[in-house]
Amino acid sequence: MDVQVSFTLNGKTVSAAASSATLLVDLLRNRFGLTGTHVGCDTSQCGACVVHVDGASVKSCTMLAAQVDGCAVDTIEGLSGDGELHPLQQAFHEHHALQCGFCTPGMIMSAADLLKRNPRPSELEVRDWLEGNMCRCTGYHNIVKAVRAAAGAMGEEGS
């Protein structure tokens, strides 16, 4: 059966019909062409597909499209407003926190959720938080560094 969903996608109201079995990630990639959200596994573990639903990070491969009816969904494409990079994006760039780039959108979206809850995470807290995001290129060293640098930059901005 098809379900009709209406939701806010990166700030804009959208609606679509999707089969009941459609996953959120497939709706985003195939219906809306938002291919920045990736699929790296089929067991809900790699985190390449992390987006925000109502402000909280979720794995979009483990949500039905039907479940976001009435919700606000934000993806990597919506993170930087007006061409200005989000501090996390800027920090990932400056600290070489990405190599092949495949895990990066999910990694950034996950980290963005962390910084909302914990604006000054320790190295250990960043590492613990990112346990749901796999990266095979960087050894996480520069990712952790970038997340903490972004936290610092956002702290300065806020003060």
Partner 1 sequence: MSGGMGIGASAPRSEDRRFITGRGRYVDDINLRSQQYAWFVRSPHPHAELRGIDAGQALGMPGVTAVLTGADLEADGIGPLPVAWGITSVDGSPAVEPEFPALATGRVRYVGNPVAVVIAETRAAARDAAEAVNVHYEELDSVSNAVAAMEEGAPRIHEAAEGNLCFNWEWLPSVMAPDAKANTEKALKEAAHLVSLELVNNRLVPNAMEPRASLADFNSATGQLTLYTTSQNPHVNRLLLCTATLRMPEHKVRVVAPDVGGGFGSKIYHYAEELAVCWASRRLGVPVKWTAERSESFLGDAQGRDHLTRVELALDAEARFTALRVDTIANLGSYVSTFGAAIPTVFYAPMLAGVYKTPNIYVTVKGVFTNTTPTDAYRGAGRPEACYLIERIVDEAAAQLGMDPAEIRRRNFIQPDEFPYQSPVGQLYDSGEFEGCLDLAMEINGYAGFDERRKQSEARGRLRGRGMSFYIEACGAAPSQAAGQLGARAGLYEVATVRVHPTGVVQVMTGTHSHGQSHETTFAQIVADRLGVDFSNVEIVHGDTGEVPFGMGTYASRSLAVGGSALVKALDKVVDKGRKIAAHLLEAAAGDIEFGDGQFRVAGTDRQVAFGDVALAAYVPHNYPLQELEPGLEETSFFDPENFTFPSGCYICEVEVDPETGVVEIRDFAAADDFGNIINPMVVEGQVHGGLAQGIGQALMEHCRYTPEGQLLTGSYMDYCMPRADDLPSFKVATRCTPTSFNPLGVKGCGEAGAIGAPPAIINAVLDALRPLGVRHIDMPATPNAVWWAIEAARSGE
Partner 2 sequence: MREFNYYRAGSVRDAAKRLAAGGNAMLLAGGMTLLPALKMRFNQPSELIDLAGINELKGIKLSRKGAHIGAATTHVEVAGNVELRAAVPVLSQVAESIGDPQVRNRGTLGGSVANNDPAADYPAAALGLGATIITNKRKISADNFFVGMFETALNAGEVVTEVLFPLPQRAGYAKFPNPATRYALVGVCVAQFKSGVRVAVTGAGSSVHRLEDFEEALERDFSPGALEGIPVSAANLNDDMHASAEYRAQLVGVMARRAVAMALD
User: With respect to partner 1, which residue has the nearer C-beta, 70 or 139?
Assistant: 139
90 SS3 class: helix
Name the residue with tokens 């959120």.
24
Find the shortest distance in angstroms from Cβ 58 to partner 2: 5
Quote the CA–CA distance of 154 and 159 in Å, as a whole number: 9
| Residues written for the chain | 159
Instruction: Kindly tell me which residue out of 58, 60, 142, 154 binds partner 1, with binding defined by CB under 8 A.
Output: 142
Asked if 7 touches partner 1 (CB under 8 A), the answer is no
Q: Degrees (nearest 5) of the Cα angle 132, 89, 9?
A: 75
Nearest Cα to Cα of residue 73 among 17, 27, 125? 27
In order of 27, 82, 108, 114, the CA distances from 8 in angstroms are 13, 18, 20, 22
Instruction: Kindly tell me which residue out of 59, 92, 115, 150 binds partner 1, with binding defined by CB under 8 A.
Output: 92
Task: Compute how many residues bind partner 1; rule: CB under 8 A.
Answer: 56
Our CA dihedral for 83, 86, 87, 90, rounded to 10 degrees, sits at -50
Find the shortest distance in angstroms from Cβ 153 to partner 2: 22
Find the shortest distance in angstroms from Cβ 69 to partner 1: 21
Show contacts with partner 1 in window 31-90 (CB under 8 A): 34-43, 45-46, 48, 75-77, 79-80, 85, 89
**Among 1-9, 66-74, 97-105, 151-159, the segment contacting partner 1 (CB under 8 A):** 97-105
| Phi (first) and psi of residue 153, to 5 degrees | -65, -40
User: With respect to partner 1, which residue has the nearer C-beta, 15 or 30?
Assistant: 30
- Binding residues vs partner 1 (CB under 8 A): 21, 29-30, 34-43, 45-46, 48, 75-77, 79-80, 85, 89, 92-94, 96, 98-105, 108, 123-124, 126-128, 130-131, 133-145
